[in-house]
A = this chain, B = another copy of it.
Amino acid sequence: MKVFKKAILPLKFKANAVACGIKRKNRLDLALFYSEVPAKAAVKFTSNKIQAAPLQLAKNNLKLNCNFQAIIANSGNANCFTGKPGLKDAQETQSILANELGIKKEAIFVSSTGVIGKRLQIDKIKIGVPEVVKGLSISGIDKAKKAIMTTDTFTKELTAKLKLGGKIVTICGVAKGAGMIAPDMATMLCYIFTDIEISKKLLEQALDTAVENSFNCITVDGCMSTNDTVIVLANGAAGNKPVNASGMDYKEFSDGVNLICLELAKMMVQDAEGATKFIQIKVAGARNARDAKKAALAIANSNLFKCAVYGENPNFGRIVAAVGASGAEVKEECFRVKVSDLKKKNINVDVDLNIGKSEAVVYSSDLTPEYIRINAEYN
């Protein structure tokens, strides 16, 4: 597998973005990702019970349809907690784009990110859609990856290229999210494009595994967005021998999706609002995998621990208290904890519960006055 630190679209994918005026003047805010041929899709949504309008629409589409060709995403407005009018806006976005591209509207994912509770300015979308379709190109991904950002300070992108039986398969991921820290801005979106020919079942399996080990292992403040979405579109254009069983080819592809999700997830934590530290927390020796993750996330979400890391203050009692409160099985006499030099930017916390064989790794950031400033002022 070859890895590139930028987004390179797979065969028969194009993208583009325009500034349609939802964000401040001249900021890119409407992105389009397009496959020239129908693509299989696998999707993971937030488990928040309040779901943004585009997610409600997408869930319906997934029931009706297996093949997708486009994702249209606006930033600056989450189209969430907007009721029936919000759902209508999402449907209208879909219809306008379907008409412009000449494809079925069910083949389109609509995606939104930004402030919760405000109506989408559909008139601006109407003007933006023809423009964004007109400029579709391979290099357009460079604009599209920027157009999905909100409080992000850098783009999040990665590409892996694999050889499956002599054919080159590309997996390209772009994401937005400054940690999980801003649910009111519909924190996290990740779009993955690949030209592999693969069964829908295996595509879903690969995404499930990758998300569990990446986006479900990061936290900045434990807040959960109403718009979180991870989508992979596979259009089969690479011409590889179809991957229909869990052999070496599947493993190679699955490793690629894992890598892309994990690296994009880490980039989100590195870009976490106000953060000065990147913290890797490993819990080993747990009774089972669930306990290991529960304990690791409890440390990762502890404000007290995060303040101690910010202050470079080795107050390890906070780690003990967090794990004890997590619900995971622990025995005081077996508990071991090791923390690397707090003066450095990258911190490693290693906990060994010494009562079993399961482990988990999660990623977090410190809690800083700058985080509070950003979130006290954001409106």
List chain A positions with a Cβ less than 8 A from chain B.
47-51, 78, 80-81, 83-84, 115-117, 181-184, 221-226, 302-304, 307-308, 310-311, 313-318, 320-325, 327-330, 332-333, 335, 367-369, 371-373, 375-379
Contacts and interface: CB of A to CB of B under 8 A. Distances in A.
- Copy tally for this chain in the complex stands at 2
A307 B224 contact: no
B375 A368 contact: no
Nearest to A311: B376
Contact of A223 (B78, B303, B327, B328): B303
Contacts of A320: 50, 80-81, 116-117, 226
Contacts of A324: 48-51, 224, 226
A330 B50 contact: yes
B80 A333 contact: no
Nearest to A302: B223
Contacts of A327: 49
A317 B223 contact: no
Contact of A321 (B226, B325, B328, B330): B226
B376 A310 contact: yes
A321 B83 contact: no
Nearest to A187: B321
16 contacts: A49-B328, A50-B323, A50-B330, A80-B317, A81-B335, A117-B317, A181-B304, A184-B304, A223-B304, A224-B325, A307-B372, A310-B376, A313-B376, A313-B377, A313-B378, A368-B372
